[in-house]
Amino acid sequence: MKPGTKVVAWEMRAVGEPLVRTELQLRAPGPDEALVRVAGCGVCHTDLGFLFEGVPTRHPLPLVLGHEVAGVVEGVGENFAQLAGRPVIVPAVLPCGRCAQCVHGRGDICKAQVFPGNDDHGGFATHLVVPARGLCPVATGTGKEDLARLSVTADAVSTAFAAVRKSGLARGEFAVFVGGGGVGGFGVQIAAALGARVLVLDVDDERLALLAGHGASWTLNVRGLSPKDVRAKVRDLAKAEKLPAVEWRIFETSGTAEGQQAAFALLVHGATLGIVGFHPGDVSVRLSNLMAFAARAEGTWGCPPEWFPAVLELVEKRQVALEPFLEFFPLESVNDVLAKLQRHELRRRPVLIP
């Protein structure tokens, strides 16, 4: 298609209302932008936050949601001509690469960053225009089906990778994931690929069984348990398995109040708590535990584009499996998919195919 012509998209126009199918006149890409034909777009719980929970988007409504995009560059500005025709992953967070924060390695707090489906129109469409800087090319000749499955590396896989990498997790260390769906399921695999010993906590036996075959050394169903009970069970397991009693790497990937409270309760001396899941409400914890345990808590907002080749390498080497954790739907079913995801009726991460 020619840049600037109409594309089919599904717009969010109001909180709580179904997305509306529309035709948009996309701008032609500027010198530092690319027009990407979407091969697949993953659906994230952040999209649910925008649509159903009133989490504000930075771009005013109407807005096309969707930030887990893989596709083919069909138009590109003069400064990135080498990307023309290339299959690419579109990182969920695209820093400008030039500001003081980016220069010092903090692109995650770049004030000029672009988050598709938040700062600008996203991937619930046939095409989108994004900054070309930071796009991650994949092997030339990658088919549409392979590109569609790779869409989840734009956020779910890469954000898990960033959280694990920032934690300093190393071979033989103990990692606990609170929540095994979406980001958590991929994080479990990444931690296992690094040689860590991994425990995953969840309330879904089917999900736990899947992860037992994909990286988890141990699984524990914590349905109905208080944070205190969860802490006791995890400490009993660590003692029985002769795991270190200090410096645990704990990752909160459930995005629930219960999960965040349980993760905080797991702090031990020297622990690192990675906050990856998003919960829009308040959570009550005793913050002084960070001081008492000489522990640290760190949030993860996306993944630096320069780390994406390492993410793709894990996928290519089958150290991170995608297919068992994905389910594919036509883009036209987006409203049904979002509603089912909100009702917790989908067992796998949905990917929309235009």
Mean pLDDT for 299-320 is 96
Which residues pair with residue 94 across a beta bridge?
Answer: 114
What residue ranges do the domains of the chain occupy?
6-155+303-353, 159-299
How would residue 17 be classed by pLDDT, with cut points 50, 70 and 90?
Answer: very high
Helix (H) or strand (E) holding 276: none
User: How many helices (DSSP H) and strands (DSSP E) are in the chain?
Assistant: 11, 16
Is the confidence at residue 344, as pLDDT, over 60? yes
Is the confidence at residue 5, as pLDDT, over 90? no
Q: pLDDT digits over 145-163, tens only?
A: 899 999 999 999 999 999 9
Q: pLDDT digits over 71-111, tens only?
A: 999 999 999 999 999 999 999 999 999 999 999 999 999 99
Q: What 8-state DSSP symbol labels residue 232? A: H
Backbone angles phi, psi at 206, to 5 degrees: -65, -40
Percent of the chain with pLDDT over 90: 95
**Strand pairing of 174-178 and 249-252?**
parallel
- Whether 61 and 42 have beta carbons less than 8 Å apart is answered as no
Please indicate, yes or no, whether the overall pTM of this predicted structure exceeds 0.85: yes
Calpha distance 130→190 (Å, rounded): 28
Question: Quick one: CATH architecture of 159-299?
Answer: 3-Layer(aba) Sandwich (3.40)
| Res 144: pLDDT | 78
Of residues 75, 86, 289, 315, the one with CA closest to residue 190: 315
How would residue 206 be classed by pLDDT, with cut points 50, 70 and 90?
Answer: very high
Q: At what angle do helices 308-316 and 183-193 cross, to 10 degrees?
A: 80
3-state secondary structure (DSSP) of residue 252: strand
Is the confidence at residue 113, as pLDDT, over 80? yes
Calpha distance 51→55 (Å, rounded): 8
Averaged pLDDT of the chain? 95
For residue 243, CA distances in Å to 141, 148, 237, 266 come to 45, 39, 8, 14
Mean pLDDT for 332-336 is 98
Indicate the CATH number of 6-155+303-353 among 3.30.470.10, 3.40.50.12660, 3.90.180.10, 3.50.50.60.
3.90.180.10
Mean pLDDT for 300-319 is 96
How would residue 190 be classed by pLDDT, with cut points 50, 70 and 90?
Answer: very high
| Res 3: pLDDT | 53
